[in-house]
Amino acid sequence: MGLEQSRRERKRARTREQVVTAAQRLFHEQGFDRTTVEDVARAADVAVQTVFNHVASKEELFFADRVPFAQALSLVPQPRPGETCAAAVVRMLTAATTGYLASLEDPELRDMAEQAQAVPALARYERTLHDRAEAQLAANLAAAGISEQPRWTAAMLLATVRVFGSEHRERVLAGTETQESAARLEADLPQHLRAVLELSDREARAQLV
């Protein structure tokens, strides 16, 4: 029974990879709006229903396996020796943001970012991914005891990331990002994230008075 289940799971994983690979190639070559689910099914040599067995929508298919940035935003990493939990959160959010911007050097990921900005349906879905990350980050902050107001803190942290990230993403996509502006991001973003955590801490203490 276990062997048969494992075989089915491997087959399902292979089919999903086949569908995702075909879809993302077509999205890159033709654009999101000009690619239909039927096109994807044909390219992957599967039925249309098989595509929907693996994803709920074309938008989900577009972002499938390509949103480590949103996933990373929801994590609370283990602190390094001598590092506080709050400092670990600042480090993680900064690394996720700068890592995402650096990834836009890859032509396919750059094209993905451009389409995500230009296509309203993709922009809405990307926002949904960030909302999910925000909810998960809030839960993780609460579990780690980092904030007495985890939902407010998570919202403010990710709003800060979005403001800085969006500004620099526009520069990267426009080809106007410089080493100096990238270095400023690495210096400025942690300061603003720390300010959010400090404000959250002050607000929590004020409520106890």
pLDDT in tens, the chain (209 residues): 566 778 889 999 999 999 999 999 999 999 999 999 999 999 999 999 999 999 999 999 999 988 877 878 888 888 999 999 899 999 999 999 999 999 998 998 899 999 999 999 999 999 999 999 999 999 999 998 888 899 999 999 999 999 999 999 999 899 998 989 889 999 999 999 999 999 887 755 555 44
Calculate ∠ Cα 111-128-105, nearest 5°.
Answer: 25
Last residue of a domain, one of 62, 77, 96: 62
The answer to whether residues 92 and 179 belong to one domain is yes
The answer to whether residues 118 and 137 belong to one domain is yes
User: 3: Cβ–Cβ under 8 A, 6 or more apart, which residues?
Assistant: none
Last residue of a domain, one of 15, 41, 62: 62
Return the SS3 of 177.
Answer: coil
Cβ–Cβ under 8 Å, residues 102 and 113 = no
The answer to whether residues 109 and 165 belong to one domain is yes
Rounded CA separation 151/86 (Å): 15
pLDDT at residue number 209: 42
Rounded CA separation 205/158 (Å): 22
The answer to whether residues 164 and 136 belong to one domain is yes
**The domain that contains 26 carries what CATH number?**
1.10.10.60
The answer to whether residues 23 and 116 belong to one domain is no
The answer to whether residues 104 and 183 belong to one domain is yes
pLDDT at residue number 204: 53
Rounded CA separation 83/76 (Å): 13
Say which amino acid occupies 158. Answer: L
pLDDT at residue number 75: 81
The answer to whether residues 34 and 77 belong to one domain is no
Predicted confidence (pLDDT) per residue in 57-111, tens digit: 999 999 998 887 787 888 888 899 999 989 999 999 999 999 999 999 899 889 9
Rounded CA separation 101/8 (Å): 37
In terms of Cα–Cα distance, which of 178, 177, 153 is closest to 166? 177
The answer to whether residues 58 and 72 belong to one domain is no
The answer to whether residues 167 and 197 belong to one domain is yes
Rounded CA separation 61/67 (Å): 11
pTM score > 0.95 for this model? no
Rounded CA separation 147/1 (Å): 46
Q: Cα 19 to the chain's mean position, in Å? A: 21
The answer to whether residues 114 and 164 belong to one domain is yes
The answer to whether residues 104 and 55 belong to one domain is no
Q: What is the dihedral of CA 65, 4, 52, 31, to 10 degrees?
A: 40
The answer to whether residues 124 and 39 belong to one domain is no
Residue 42's domain comprises 2-62
